[in-house]
Amino acid sequence: MLFYLLSICSFGGILMLRLMGKSRQFQSYLLVAAVLSLFAGMLQGNESPQIVWIRYAVMLFRVLFGLISPFAFLFFGLALVFNGVLLINKEGWAKRYALLLAVGIFILLMDLLFLLNYFVFHHYLIWRFMRLMSYFIIYFGVVLILFFVATTFYGLIPVSLDKDFIIVLGAGLLPDGRISPLLEKRLDRAIRFFRNQAEHTQKRPCRMIVSGGQGVDEPFSEAYAMKRYLIAKGIPEELIIEEDKSVNTYQNLLYSKGIMDTYKEKYKCLFITNNFHTVRSSLYAHRVGLDTDGLGAWTPFYFLPYAFLREFIAVVFMQIKGHTLLLALVLVFGLWRIYL
């Protein structure tokens, strides 16, 4: 009953935030909480015959998970290695792509150690080590799933056509100054929203803030390149505002907020980024005091595994103190279960 009550409260909170026009970030979190609470309530009802099949399904899942998890991790490790090699071939050598490759190799080595100990060594110290590692794997697995669900739900929540400003977050230029493929997707998504709002509402055309400074290997600022692209696509120059000082997402949103504050005291805004980047951008927006919606542009499939893993790590480090405390508790719990 408690879980059903939590689910109802979460759905009620979503409705309230929708009516108040509040940030989609919190709506997505409440949606995750509502779904998980509803599922937990269904599993809790042991005396309810209509959900007996769910309990048996969960029991079957536990057995299958124990049998196939080593092979699932093998597949996951191979996928990361393949994606790392693919990115290096397509995008060129970079430390961040090498890190993805290294994570995949580490997972493969851990999986190999487990299989060798299961079939060959049978050493109790290796079993203890692997069991301890399993607690950390479960922790990060749960956090990763929650992050994936939150990112997915964030993209499902509709955005109202009432914006005064659209912020397009920079994503780097090519060495010759051309727009990168990821940035082009963001700009095209911003153009579609701009035109959709203009066609379906009587609201005055919104302004576009193109946010991005100049990198050491770039001939000019990202903001300047984005402005040229938008003008070439038919967006009026007088509606485009350049923010060319920022060097990261936090500064993109902070400096853009400063610009919007000079135009209007009260306004509604929207940031545009890639779909994998929406949750972290929303967290940064909350930090700078910006109540905003966010839209994610389509991302090439081959780039998604690396991008999603990078975003997950970045969000974990944004909340490093809380995760450090929880990991310490996981370590204590794991040692207690193994040795006591």
What structural domains and CATH numbers belong to the chain? 48-156+320-339 (no CATH), 165-299 (3.40.50.620)
Percent of the chain with pLDDT over 90: 30
Residue 49 DSSP class: G
Residue 265: exposed, middle, or buried by beta-carbon count in 10 A (0-12, 13-18, 19+)? exposed
Comparison of pLDDT for 288 and 9, the residue scoring more: 288
Residues 183-239 pLDDT 10s:
999 999 999 999 999 998 877 789 999 999 988 778 899 999 999 999 999 999 999
Predicted confidence (pLDDT) at residue 310 exceeds the cutoff of 90: no
Predicted confidence (pLDDT) at residue 31 exceeds the cutoff of 90: no
* pLDDT value of position 10: 59
Would you list the DSSP string of 222-286?
HHHHHHHHHHHTT--GGGEEEE----SHHHHHHHHHHHHHHH-SS--EEEEEEGGGHHHHHHHHH
Predicted confidence (pLDDT) at residue 20 exceeds the cutoff of 50: no
Alpha-carbon distances, residue 181 vs 189, 190, 299 (angstroms): 12, 14, 9
